Amino acid sequence: MGKRFELHLTAMAHGGDALGRHEGKVIFVPYAIPGEEALVEMVEDKGRYARGRVVEILSPSPHRVTPPCPHFGPGKCGGCQWQHIAYQAQLEFKAAVVGNQLARLGRLPDVSVKRLIPSASPWHYRNHVQFSVGDDGRLGFVATTGRRVETIEACYLLHPLLEELFAALDLELPGLARLSLRAGVNTGDQMMIFETHDDLPPALESDLPVSCVLLLSDGTPVNLIGSNHITEVVAERRFRISAASFFQVNTAAAEELVRVVGEYLAPAGDETLLDAYCGVGTFALSLADKVGYVIGIEEDAGAVADARLNVAELTNVEFIEGSVEAFLPQLDRPIDLAVLDPPRQGCKPEALAALIELAPRRIVYVSCDPATLARDARKLAGGGYQLVEVQPVDMFPQTYHIESVALWVGPTG
Q: With CA atoms as reference, report the closest residue to 34 among 5, 64, 2, 56.
A: 64
135 class by beta-carbon count within 10 Å (0-12 exposed, 13-18 middle, 19+ buried): exposed
| DSSP bridge pairs for 49 | 26
| DSSP bridge pairs for 112 | 389
3-state secondary structure the chain: CCCEEEEEEEEECCCCCEEEEECCEEEEECCCCCCCEEEEEEEEECCCEEEEEEEEEEECCCCECCCCCCCCCCCCECCCCCCCECHHHHHHHHHHHHHHHHHHCCCCCCCEECCCECCCCCCCCECEEEEEECCCCCEEEEECCCCCEEECCCCCCECHHHHHHHHHCCCCCCCEEEEEEEECCCCCCEEEEEEECCCCCCCCCCCCCCEEEEECCCCCEEEEECCCEEEEEECCEEEEEECCCCCCCEHHHHHHHHHHHHHHHCCCCCCEEEEECCCCCHHHHHHHHHCCEEEEEECCHHHHHHHHHHCCCCCCEEEEECCHHHHHHHCCCCCCEEEECCCCCCCCHHHHHHHHHHCCCEEEEEECCHHHHHHHHHHHHHCCCEEEEEEEECCCCCCCCCEEEEEEECCCC
Interatomic CA distance for residues 370 and 3, integer angstroms: 32
Catalytic site residue from 69, 212, 347, 368: 368
* Contact (Cβ atoms closer than 8 angstroms) between residue 342 and residue 319: no
Would you call 368 a catalytic residue per the annotation? yes
Catalytic residues: 368
